[in-house]
Structures are given as C-alpha cells and as structure tokens.
Structure 1
C-alpha cells in the first residue's frame, strides 16, 4: 500500500508539473517570437514553439530529489542507497550538457558535429561515473565476459546512438513521445519485477512527463514541440535505461523469466522503431551519396504519411503499436528460445520491415491507394457542402 501511494505521488507530480510548465513555456516563446519555422520538410504551416523539452529537464531534476527520498516513504529499495545517489550524480552532468546544447540548437541552429561532440562528452561522463557497465553478455553470440575498456566504449556508443535515434524520429506529432512511453513503460515493468525501485521510479516519471507533453503536442490550438532540447534529454534517459538493463547482475536476471543470453535482443526489440529508422535512413542517404546527417523526408513516418495520406496521430499510433507488438513477440520467445534462433527471427523481422518500406516506395499499388483515398476525401467534402 505504501509503495502504491509512493508511485501515485511520483506519477501525479511528474504529470501535473509538466502540464503546468508547458503552457507557460509556450506563452513565453510566443511573446518572445521564438518558434520553429516551417520548411520543405515540415508538416506544420505556421511557426510553432519548440522548447517543450525544458519541462522534461526541470521535472527530472526535481524528481531526482523525490526519488532519492523514497526511504522517507518507508520504501525498501533493492538498490543500495549509494548506487541510487551515484546514478543521480552520474546523470546530472550529461543531462545538463545536452539540455544546454539542445536549447541553443532550438534557438540558433548548431552544426551536427557540435551536437555529436556534446553527446559523446555527456555519454562518456555518465559511463565513467556510473558504477555499472556491460561487462557480461551471458552467452549472447557465444560472448561472456567483456574487456572493461571495450564495455565502456559500447556503453558510450549505445548512449550516443539512442540520443540520435530519438532525435531523428521526432519528425511528426506524437511519434517520439508515443514510442518513448512504450519503451519507458517496458523498461519500468522490467525493473519493477526485479524490485529496482530507483530505476522503476525514473521510468514512471518519464511516462508521466510524456503523457502531459503529448496532450499539447497533439493539440490543434496549443501545439508545442519538444525540440532538440527534449529529444536529446529523452534519448539520453532511454540510453541510460538500456545500459542499466544490459548490465543487470546475475541475481537480478534470475528473477526475470527471459533467458540471460537473450537480453541484448530484447533490448533491441524495445528500441526497434527508432533504431530501425535511423539505420535505414543512414543507409538510404549514403547509397544516394548524400550526407547521412542532412535532413530529408526519407524517414519511415514520412513515408507512411506521404504514401497512405494519413494523419500524424494515425501514423504515430501505427508505429507505436508496431513497437509494442515486437516487444511482446520477442519477449515471449526470449523465455525459452535459443539465442541463435531468436537472433535469426529478429533479423528476419528487420528484413520484413525493410522489404515493406521498400515496396511502399517502389510499387505503384500504394500510389493508387493514395490517389483513391484523396479522391474519396474530395467526394466526401463535396457531399458535405451540398448537404449543408
């Protein structure tokens, strides 16, 4: 009962605080005439405030104090008190650097190399100070122990990759927030099952923050974007959850139903939408001899919207459901499947996704669907005018 009260207070606090801050931020940005200007890639037609990520950072900073004070609620945290405090100290420098860099990039665009350098520094600071590392893959692809230096490099790579992946999928209303809610909920559930109250609490806070933000991001009258400020903070926290999940102790893994050797594949399934989109976009751009960091409309969310003529909400819902279904499928199979069999199935799943989006781009059948839908919409509009 006490734990239920604690989680309710934490969730309500994160939701209400973010819900209070976002309109204030939006009003301030409008009064100062600071907004994201529409361009050839944009789906919005008017300048839109894009500093919603400020609320993410503020709520996180305050929630750290509340989470660290869980002992006052009588919560018996499975993690040592030192580990919780250590993680907070490890998080703050990286979060602050990314917050400042993202804030500047949302107001005055920065060069991609500058953002990448900030991401690497933030990731390195976290990995250097964090008490855990990915030092054992428990038989994944036959790999057991990992050299500490290599383990640190892998952790830095994961953090930077997740930050950029989240940044890249934040291209339509609701998508980054929707898939992030699913990913934080999954990580949170996993940490809850093994009694990692601290990590579970952070995931709970992020879900509350994102639900509050989503209400405004999908609004037609009070719209706001999270901007790079929000997407980089969001990506950093998801990367931290992924590293924490991959570095679980054998005693923690024994409490989970999935086989330890399948842990990396389950992590890949949780992050499948942002990672699949990022890898696919980079391959497409490089094959066309374009700068892989140069923005265009080759993302999977842009393809779905352009080819099927559906709204941002529907596209975000489809991709969110897809992410959820992949997590469920891989997690169920990870309980008893051999590592190599599950890896083969996961690769086949990625190939099916790749084939699907290839067919959308190359097959005229989808163009016919788009034209038919457009024609039907025009006919419905004419009928409504006649009836009125």
Structure 2
C-alpha cells in the first residue's frame, strides 16, 4: 500500500478517537478507580473502539476482498466488540456475553478454515483455547500501555512472518491493526492515560490477533505459533492456578497478576512494566520464529526459565508485602 494511504488511515483513526472522546465525555463513559484498580484517576473508557473502526476502514479501502474473504471474520469481530462495548457502558450478564463469544469464535474458526482442517473431536478444544485466550487478553488489560504495546509486538512479529517466512494473509490485514495500536498508544502510553481500551479494546484487538495466529497455524500446521502469546498465557494460567489453590473465585476481579503487584505494591511505572512484558515476548518471538526444534522442545525452552523467573518474582513480592 502507498505510504500516503497509510497516512490517510492514521489520520482517520486519530480523528475517530478524538470524536469518540467527545462522545464518551458527554455520556459519562468512564472508568472509576476502585480497590482493585491500578490507577487513581477517573479516565475515559472504551478508547479501544478504534480497533473495530480500523476493520471498518480496512473494508472501505479493500471492499471486494473484504466481502469475499473477510466477511465472517468481520461479523465475529463486530459482534464481540458491540457486546463488549455494551458491557463497558452497562454490565451485562455472563450468559449474554458468553453466547456472543461463542458465535464470534465460530465465525473466527470458519474464517481460518479450522472446521475443514481439524477433526470434529478437536473442535471443542479449539473453542476452549480461543475463548480462554480472548479472556486472557481481557484479564491482562490492567495498566497503561500493556494491551497496546504487547499487541504491537505480536502484530509486528506476524507481519515479519507474513513477509519473510510464509505469506498467510494480505499484508494490509496486519497493518491496519498495527496502525490502530499506534494511534491508541498515543493516548494510552502515558503516565496519565487519556483513555483506557475497555473490554471493546482488549476483546477487539485480542480477536484480531488471535484470528491472525489461527489463520497462520491453519496455513502452516505449525502449532508453535500460539506461543506468540506465551507471556500472556503463562501469566494467566499460573494466576488461575494460584487462585484455585487459595480457593478464590477465579471469575471475580483481583490484583494477583505479577504486573498488578509490580504496578500497585512495588509502584513500578506502568509504562516500564508494559514495556518489559513486551520485550520479553519479543525475545521469545525471535527465538520462536527462527527455531527448528520440535514443538515440545520449544515449549520447554520458553516456559521453564520464564515460568521460574515469574514465580520467583511473584514469591519475592508477596513475601515483601505480606500478600
């Protein structure tokens, strides 16, 4: 795509975000701090609406291709973003959200060709993995910069794979969410963020990233690419195990994630914590992309040291602050 067109798209996304800020301010779509929050000021919520908007702009600039190849993905993305935005404005029941998530994930798997390439017995596993990963994206959206920077690293890795390793999708389908991340980070990657992503943002960009990774796995048969989200996966799984051992309700909000302990108790800058998470994932991605080792060996090489460091840091912080 011509660089001038990229510039136009970035300007459109920037203006869209500014317009949304006026709407959110008028209708009081805000995030109020509570005892579980990592922030202390009232902040506009739902700035992540820029991600479904980016897909709509993608469709307008690539209309024929979008109708032919991306309609199922688009319906799934818009459905999950609409229900998530509604949940940002007014809390919805779990049944309603889960029903829409199931429909959206079905459309995503259809888009990636999973139903044709995977045996029927594997379909329930796919649903659990995709829905679980989407919710992990939501769980990890707790401090300034985290969702945007982490997604930018993953999308950048996918763009590199698509260009240098194997072409698995139209490059613009990766560049549009990258541009949306950059615009969102302009307002969010700050000590005092102008806006938070909200559920619409974390679920929206999570759905797009996961759609790309699923498409890549189905095109290559290489399951190792799920490890492009390994830092998020490790953090969420280990935190859930911890909460189960403590007999806590895993569906209730909490402050047990390592990034929360670092930001809330240790008072480390949100931007530093988010950047460290992103850099760790980047290092893993570099190894992952160029590794010729079998999948099981890659998992061991990544998760044994990463898991050990994670548990050691968390144990140190919990002991230090008597948590």
For normalisation by structure 1, the TM-score amounts to 0.75
**Alignment of 1:234 onto 2:205:** yes
Within 1, Cα distance between the matches of 2:282 and 2:112?
31
**Alignment of 1:36 onto 2:17:** no
From 290, 307, 310, give the equivalent of 1:351.
307
Deviation, structure 1 residue 354: 3.8
Deviation, structure 1 residue 224: 0.7
2:269: which partner in 1? Answer: 311
Please give the residue correspondences for 1:319-338 in structure 2 after superposition, counting only pairs within 5 Å.
319-332=277-290, 334-335=291-292, 337-338=293-294
Deviation larger for 210-219 or 175-184? 210-219
Check conservation: 1:95, 1:233, Cα contact below 8 A. yes
Within 1, Cα distance between the matches of 2:4 and 2:316?
46
2:316: which partner in 1? Answer: 360
**Alignment of 1:225 onto 2:204:** no
Check conservation: 2:76, 2:105, Cα contact below 8 A. yes
Over 3 Å counting, the alpha-carbon distance change for 1:195 and 1:67 in structure 2 is farther
Within 2, Cα distance between the matches of 1:317 and 1:190?
22
Within 2, Cα distance between the matches of 1:328 and 1:67?
31
What are the Cα deviations for residues 130-151 of structure 1, in whole angstroms up to 9, with x where unaligned?
Answer: 2622877xxxxxxxxx52x134
Check conservation: 1:93, 1:122, Cα contact below 8 A. yes
1:267: which partner in 2? Answer: 226
Within 2, Cα distance between the matches of 1:348 and 1:172?
26
Over 3 Å counting, the alpha-carbon distance change for 1:30 and 1:338 in structure 2 is closer
2:138: which partner in 1? Answer: 167
What are the Cα deviations for residues 195-249 of structure 1, in whole angstroms up to 9, with x where unaligned?
Answer: 6374421111111101111111134676111110111111111110111111115
For normalisation by structure 2, the TM-score amounts to 0.89
2:114: which partner in 1? Answer: 133
2:105: which partner in 1? Answer: 123
Q: Higher relative contact order by CA 8 Å / sep ≥ 6: 1 or 2?
A: 2
Over 3 Å counting, the alpha-carbon distance change for 1:363 and 1:26 in structure 2 is same
**Alignment of 1:243 onto 2:199:** no
Please give the residue correspondences for 1:166-185 in structure 2 after superposition, counting only pairs within 5 Å.
166-185=137-156
Deviation, structure 1 residue 343: 3.2
Over 3 Å counting, the alpha-carbon distance change for 1:232 and 1:23 in structure 2 is same
Aligned-partner SS, 1:247? helix
Deviation larger for 337-346 or 237-246? 337-346
Q: How many residues align?
A: 322
Structure 1 unaligned blocks of 5 or more? 1-5, 70-80, 137-145, 250-259, 368-388
Check conservation: 1:187, 1:200, Cα contact below 8 A. no
Deviation larger for 355-364 or 317-326? 355-364
What are the Cα deviations for residues 160-203 of structure 1, in whole angstroms up to 9, with x where unaligned?
Answer: 12211111111000001100000011112111225637442111
Deviation, structure 1 residue 120: 1.6
From 178, 187, 196, give the equivalent of 2:167.
196
Over 3 Å counting, the alpha-carbon distance change for 1:324 and 1:309 in structure 2 is same
**Alignment of 1:66 onto 2:48:** no
Over 3 Å counting, the alpha-carbon distance change for 1:234 and 1:27 in structure 2 is same
Within 2, Cα distance between the matches of 1:116 and 1:353?
34
Structure 2 unaligned blocks of 5 or more? none
Deviation, structure 1 residue 299: 1.3
Deviation larger for 116-125 or 295-304? 116-125
Q: Which has the larger radius of gyration?
A: 1
Over 3 Å counting, the alpha-carbon distance change for 1:66 and 1:156 in structure 2 is farther
Deviation, structure 1 residue 155: 3.4
